[in-house]
Structure 1
Amino acid sequence: MLYPNETHPLAFILLGIPGLEDVQCWISIPFGCMYFVAFFGNCVILFVVRTEKSLHEPMYFFVSMLAVTDLVLSSSTLPKMLSIFWFNWREISFEACLTQMFFIHSFTAMESGFFLAMAFDRYVAICNPLRHSSILSNNAVLVMGLSVVFRAVVFFSPHPFIVKALFFCQTNIIPHTYCEFMAIIKISCGDAFVSKAYSLTVASMIGAFDLMCTVASYTLILRTVLSLPTKEAGLKALSTCSSHICVILVFYSTAVFTFLTHRFGHDIAPQIHITIANIYLLVPPMLNPIIYGVRTKKIRQRIARVLCFSMR
């Protein structure tokens, strides 16, 4: 029986990428590679920060928090997505769908919050270096990390309850590769204006607040760098921010595009929208460990020592 209580189905059917069913097997190859890199790379980052005492600093603690977020975010979507592409296992239970939806939206918000925390760390390190250790003590870092998690959980916990209160009287087929809140809302019956407005408002407010504060931090950093007595000192200060700026650009560029397509892009082809939505969840978790591993000297040196030791 599809609708045991006449309100919601026992399970949803995820279509994958509508219009690209014939090539989904080929699409799964780069997606699977991205997941492998994301999983392996973030595990390496966590191992390196955990075992190298010189990396027990606020910046690398935040990098570790970001790595955990990326692991959860990619692991909550890719395995099911690949099962659709490879084995045509499209069914997902109603409860599992709500769980996946909560993890996707809440951990995306956590990622944005950790980017802001890292920007604040760079601001203090460059603009007020003498007080860096006192302002960003271990307790302060812990409080900031817990605050980011708490904010995401509080604002996105209503999503599963909103979906449970909806009626699904026509179909249980979700034209997407994962249980996205807006995709579920679109197949529900009745007026879902309030539900859409809540989700878009919360996501836009959190994203806009984090982005504006991050931009403000780097504006102050740039002003401080330009006032340094030598060009070399300024370049050295900026080099500590380069990896962070790279991952922020990747994250927010895809996030903004995804948000705008939900809000205004009604004429965009579904396969384009869904592909971008997948990139939004897969590319940042893949690139973050690569960028930090390549552009952060301490992490790069530690990884090189580990590799050299394992090859002996």
Structure 2
Amino acid sequence: MVNCSNHSLVHFTHTEFVLFGFPGIVTHRNLLIIPFLLVYILILSGNLTIVYRIYVEKTLQAPMYYLISILFLANISCTSSFTPKLLLSLSFGLDRISRGGCIVQMFSIYSMTIFESGVMLSMALDRYVAVCRPLRYHDIMTTRTMLELTCTCWARSIFLVSPVVILTFSSQFCRSNLLLNFVCENMGVLSLACGDISIQKVVGLVVRSFVTLGDFSLLLLSYSTILYTAMKIATGKTRNKALDTCGTHLLVAMLIYICTIISSIIYRVRRSISIDILNLVSAVYLMLPATVNPIVYGLRVKEIKKCLRRSRR
């Protein structure tokens, strides 16, 4: 522990941090191993199964399914950036993470989360073209378009996350290196910083608000237009298929953004909530979409459902 009574004289840059996410149940942390391990196995098996089926089934070689597979790979990447470390911490007490590891983990989680949001917007664009411009669908949604959309989502996530991570770790640290969290997140790391961190807070809030509110508003506008057009020009099976597919995408999107909003609200009132509960909510926020998405698409998208049934025979 470094004395911080004089911030102008004392500057200390941590070379490692200690992730101590569940201080209230420190003697019973092993009880969390099985739930987290089972959820992680479910995430890997569920997402990889559907990605594999999309890859091998010729009937699923279409832009919409390509975007679904990209979303599922992002789900796996996001959860894999922290879950193995969490399991090692709970099992063997390996709580320490290097400064570089903390940077990589924070960047991975935030960039994957924003990338997922971008993929959801790309799905909305795909459905808009399919329903509102059906005759030009194959001319617009080409392989090149899919690659451009993917690269755009990647570039956007890197552009938005980089300032948050850079500003966070450019801060001067002179407090304990103990993080009461199971992941490296920017506000937790900033709580160890000395001096003025108002810029870091503002940048983090702007990025989160831009992604959550901005992307969610665009999605609602897009799907409102799609559903209006579907009800207006489509009939019978075509209308039902459009409504069912768009409803599935919107359900998944709502789950992602509702989890984000709830997490933000809880973080703002964290003083009245125990650290253990707060971190469990954070775990749900990070892992629930990746757990539920394969189930939603596997049950609601008929083509995927048929392929999964055939694979079991």
TM-score normalized by the length of structure 2: 0.91
3-state DSSP of counterpart to 2:18: strand
Deviations 1:245-298 (A, max 9, x none): 221121111101112233455433332322111111111111111211222121
Q: Is the 8 A contact 2:71 2:116 kept in 1?
A: yes
Aligned-pair identity in percent equals 32
Look up the equivalent residue of 2:178 and give its one-letter code.
I
Q: Is the 8 A contact 1:120 1:214 kept in 2?
A: no
Q: Identify if the C-alpha distance between structure 1 residues 134 and 26 changes in structure 2 by more than 3 Å, giving closer, same or farther.
A: same
Residue aligning to 1:214 = 219
| Partner Cα separation in structure 2 for residue 156 and residue 233 of structure 1 | 40
Deviations 1:107-151 (A, max 9, x none): 100011111111111122122211211121111111111100000
Match of 1:79 among 63, 77, 84: 84
Match of 1:141 among 146, 152, 162: 146
Counterparts of residues 37-116 of structure 1 (less than 5 Å)? 37-116=42-121
| Partner Cα separation in structure 2 for residue 216 and residue 153 of structure 1 | 25
Residue aligning to 1:303 = 308
Residue aligning to 1:28 = 33
The total of aligned residue pairs comes to 307
| Partner Cα separation in structure 2 for residue 235 and residue 104 of structure 1 | 36
Q: Identify if the C-alpha distance between structure 1 residues 123 and 264 changes in structure 2 by more than 3 Å, giving closer, same or farther.
A: farther
| Partner Cα separation in structure 2 for residue 17 and residue 259 of structure 1 | 19
Q: Which runs of 5+ in 1 are unaligned?
A: none
Q: Is the 8 A contact 1:162 1:195 kept in 2?
A: yes
| Partner Cα separation in structure 2 for residue 170 and residue 158 of structure 1 | 23
TM-score normalized by the length of structure 1: 0.92
Query: Does the alignment pair 1:270 with 2:275?
Result: yes
Higher deviation after alignment, 142-151 or 293-302: 293-302
Q: Is the 8 A contact 1:185 1:192 kept in 2?
A: yes
| Partner Cα separation in structure 2 for residue 298 and residue 230 of structure 1 | 20
Deviations 1:201-238 (A, max 9, x none): 11211222211111011111221233246465433321
Q: Which runs of 5+ in 2 are unaligned?
A: 3-9
| Partner Cα separation in structure 1 for residue 100 and residue 235 of structure 2 | 59
Look up the equivalent residue of 1:47 and give its one-letter code.
Y
Match of 2:167 among 145, 157, 162: 162
Residue aligning to 1:242 = 247
3-state DSSP of counterpart to 1:238: helix
Query: Does the alignment pair 1:205 with 2:210?
Result: yes
Query: Does the alignment pair 1:118 with 2:123?
Result: yes
Look up the equivalent residue of 1:165 and give its one-letter code.
S
| Partner Cα separation in structure 2 for residue 139 and residue 248 of structure 1 | 25
